[in-house]
Structure 1
């Protein structure tokens, strides 16, 4: 945050709101130091943000506005959020996929963005329970067929079947049975929420169970989550951070959180970063030793 004492109220409040979203909460005494303003000024700013429904005031500070842990937004609503971060994460995650491999792509808009990055990876086998992800590959194959140019090495897509959720993900006993019978090299998984305490979580109980089967089926688990997912605890947890091999996130994740994540996850990939956690040039990937340095 800036130390400029002459910040306009609107600028201060925008900075406060950004800090609340990034960190999952702020304290009044921290804000007074960072903004170089009085305690009263910070409290007025928090009051204004609370009246606008942007934050929820708590004793000594503010936290993001809470919604029911079982609330599940639809695919279109989620698609409009953090679009640039999702694209960066998708590009970085695509680097984890080798030609000829078998990958699982679970539901979610960030995994959907990854699917579009994998169209030119030859000879993939893609297992998915996402209607939207399957459509990405089917549409590309139909377009190639329409101009009589079959895609050489086009992906083989295995769609699990199941009951469709608001996020266009297939879940339930049919999906679970299909996934239990398969083994994949890498699972790419989106999440509704992620935290040290609750691990990976989703508002949908059936989706949580299907995701558990996905995690068990994979040799390597890669989670794709932008920084706004951090600190959110949805209704049902389906995996601990210790179950994750790679976390791919964006540059909005603070240095403190990167260090915290590195204690639990073997590999942290920060999409779009030009510097590694140790301060040296990096393509966006930090190993645990580097990341722990902050």
Structure 2
């Protein structure tokens, strides 16, 4: 296959799936990871896709654009893992916690498998799969039900009704965007309503959001910044954003997102 033919096929895959990984493409086309990276760079320079850590996604996100779970799963992987690790430290054995949908909350679910006695309520299909695969008999996992979104969230009246009958210790909320004006936002109107029900059911709200969420605005606001008891983000969050968020949320936790990095964004060694 010629390079141009391969790049056309890669673009078709990105548009169909919303996102692709370098390793998957290399295996599919029988070429090296380096060849695929060059292809992605070429397509990125032509404005046909967006390069992300470990792969590529579609371009052109707007206030109503809702990337699929697969597309989001290849973005900011080190940041999401670091955020999830810090968030897991907030969970105590025997707690009743909720996980909203999202790739960062799914990363957290992988860490909660090791916490005994949890009751986990979620509207995230990937999170449920992860927790059930963990197979802990001392954990209770509750799936809300509802209508499935492109991001593998269950939303709508069924989900909201189920959530409103619950009382939870902690909610870990993944968001599409954060802004001073709009607060925490999502591109899906029904998901915003479902998320607000989760917020109302929980004693404490912990928002998990990497630095790319700052300045992004989805069409629907979930809650204002001041509703968050804790916001966990990574060390690539700008100083201006840190100052504003520190004034608005209860506590801003900044985590280093790569080897040799410190929580203030500097390096060690």
Deviations 1:156-200 (A, max 9, x none): 001100111011100010000000000100000000001111001
Residue 248 of structure 2 aligns to a residue whose secondary structure is: coil
Q: How does 1:31-42 map to 2 (within 5 A)?
A: none
Give the structure-1-normalised TM-score.
0.68
Give the structure-2-normalised TM-score.
0.74
2:184 to 200, 214, 219: 200
- 1:66 is displaced (CA, Å) by 5.6
Tell me what 2:237 maps to.
253
- 1:68 is displaced (CA, Å) by 2.6
Tell me what 2:194 maps to.
210
The CA distance in 2 between the partners of 1:275 and 1:109, in whole Å, is 23
Deviations 1:34-83 (A, max 9, x none): xxxxxxxxxxxxxxxx98549xxxxxxxxxx8633111000000000001
Q: Is the contact between residue 96 and residue 168 of structure 2 (CA under 8 Å) also seen in structure 1?
A: yes
Long gaps (5+) in structure 2: 1-43, 49-58
Tell me what 1:190 maps to.
174
Deviations 1:223-269 (A, max 9, x none): 00000000001111111001111000011102221111000011111
Q: How does 1:21-170 map to 2 (within 5 A)?
A: 52-53=46-47, 67-141=61-135, 151=136, 153=138, 155-170=139-154
Matched, 1:226 2:210: yes
The CA distance in 2 between the partners of 1:227 and 1:202, in whole Å, is 16
Deviations 1:88-127 (A, max 9, x none): 0000000110111000000000000000011111100000
Greater CA radius of gyration, 1 or 2?
Answer: 1
Residue 263 of structure 1 aligns to a residue whose secondary structure is: helix
Q: Is the contact between residue 122 and residue 152 of structure 1 (CA under 8 Å) also seen in structure 2?
A: no
Deviations 1:207-232 (A, max 9, x none): 01001111111100000000000000
Long gaps (5+) in structure 1: 1-49, 55-64, 142-150, 280-294
Matched, 1:171 2:171: no
The number of residues matched between the two structures is 210
Residue 113 of structure 2 aligns to a residue whose secondary structure is: coil
Q: Is the contact between residue 235 and residue 262 of structure 2 (CA under 8 Å) also seen in structure 1?
A: no
**Runs of 4+ deviating beyond 6 Å:** none
Residue 232 of structure 1 aligns to a residue whose secondary structure is: coil
